[in-house]
Structure 1
Amino acid sequence: MKRTDMIEDIAKVVSDMTPKEGYSDTHLSEVSLFRAENNYLDIPLLYNQCLCIIVRGSKEVSLKEKTLTYDPNHFLVVPTIMPFECETYATHDNPFFGITISVDYIIVQDILDQLGEKFTASSVALAPNPGAYLEELTEDILEPTLRLLNSLREKKDADVLGRQTLRELYYRTLMGKNGHILASAARGKSSYAKIAKALRIIHEDCSASLDITNLAEKANMSVRSFHDHFKTVTTYSPLQYLKRIRLDKARLLLANQGLQANVTAHMVGYESTSQFSREFKRYFGYSPKDTQKEFLQNLVR
């Protein structure tokens, strides 16, 4: 099957499975589908470790001075939790169709063990800003993606065939031009993996005070080395990253639970409600009390 035909077939399946704008769940928790029919600009989003494939439309994700554009020619690989500024380009007549696939590092590690020596040098010095990267969207990725989507029509097929195909997609990504970055994130002893672990700690308990010395010790790094590697991966200092994670989590709490600003501020680790409100408005462009009105329902997770 030609590449263009595979892209059209994938787009048709995604269209069938996404009856309205926003995210749609599937029979596999690792796979979600996304449809947009309008441009959505300057939207701050938090990406968990994932593969992001687009077959119609395009999307830009930015980390400070670095911008990556993925589309039907390139897919995005996010090896660890990353906060992005996002812009999605679509129209009603030409909607955006995307597939997000969570990365299961237990499976990735098992694949690496099978591959043996190929990725033993994954802990080499990191390339600049490798918190996310692009790979070419080749037939080697498109063909299993189409099989994966077709398996999602029935739960029993998803549980058996779909999970097998996820493993194949992880393998194909590892074999890509920049696959060593994903491999490095999976290897527990690499600097990348140590920073990825620290990011998960911050993400899971963002209300706690940030103890850089303690995080560095858990990563078995000096404070200076930890700070340098952290900024290489995320482009943020640890304190800047924590602030962004707190604000992203606060927005979800305000939108989904309708909490008051003072309660939300405390839940994400702010001692001052006024400081929280100032920083929230500076970051999102609207106040905490306006979140439910401004929040793009079903378009942000």
Structure 2
Amino acid sequence: MPNNLSIRAYTSQIRSHFHEFHQLVLPLHGAIDIKVGDYTGKVSFGDCVIIKAGQQHDFRADDAARFIVVDMENFPDNITGSSIAKFSINPPLLAYIQFIDKQLAHQVNKQLESTAFALFYQLLAQQSCNERIDPRIAEVIHFIKQDVSVLFSIEQLAKIACLSTSQYKNLFKQNINMTTHKYITQLRMEKASALLAHTDLPIRIVAEQVGYQDLSAFSRRFSNYFGQSPKAFSY
């Protein structure tokens, strides 16, 4: 059973059990209500819930909901050391579980499934799930990550968090250990470096896709961040 990817559905009747292997549940369609460890709540598309071996969990979901369920013998270190049960997955892993959904529904191919699990494990090891983030800040982060090219104002983000601007700025820094501006810059630079390294998009287009209409401003920011120009990085 361990080290296995599958597509599963659950019922609206509450069920409760435990198993001798680790498990992750990642919603594809719909959501699951679950109680595991200290967490009680809803897990929906874009989330992942961690169920450690031997951990009792109670759950229910709409009959039409579908989930990628991953049974695992061992977790990567970031999951093993996590103090939280639920976290948001990053866009590459989100896209990958959608591919897994299509592949598993298409054919049975044990060799391909083994390879798919190995790549899933690698992507899982890159997830940030070690900190317990205030739900209001988690909501802001989810909103920002939808499109890093958008020019967000502090007032906008504070409104999403249902906080005053000063409360928001303080709470964001307490949770993320940096300002909102620095965090957005980090996301933009990481995306820009990936686009430059893995696509043939012109630097001007890359700049626009990460929120810079001024190419010179983008080049300066990129050079300060990585210590080399966008042109040098793309070769």
Q: Give me the TM-score of the superposition, normalised by structure 1.
A: 0.40
Higher relative contact order structure (alpha carbons within 8 Å, sequence separation ≥ 6): 1
Q: Give me the TM-score of the superposition, normalised by structure 2.
A: 0.50
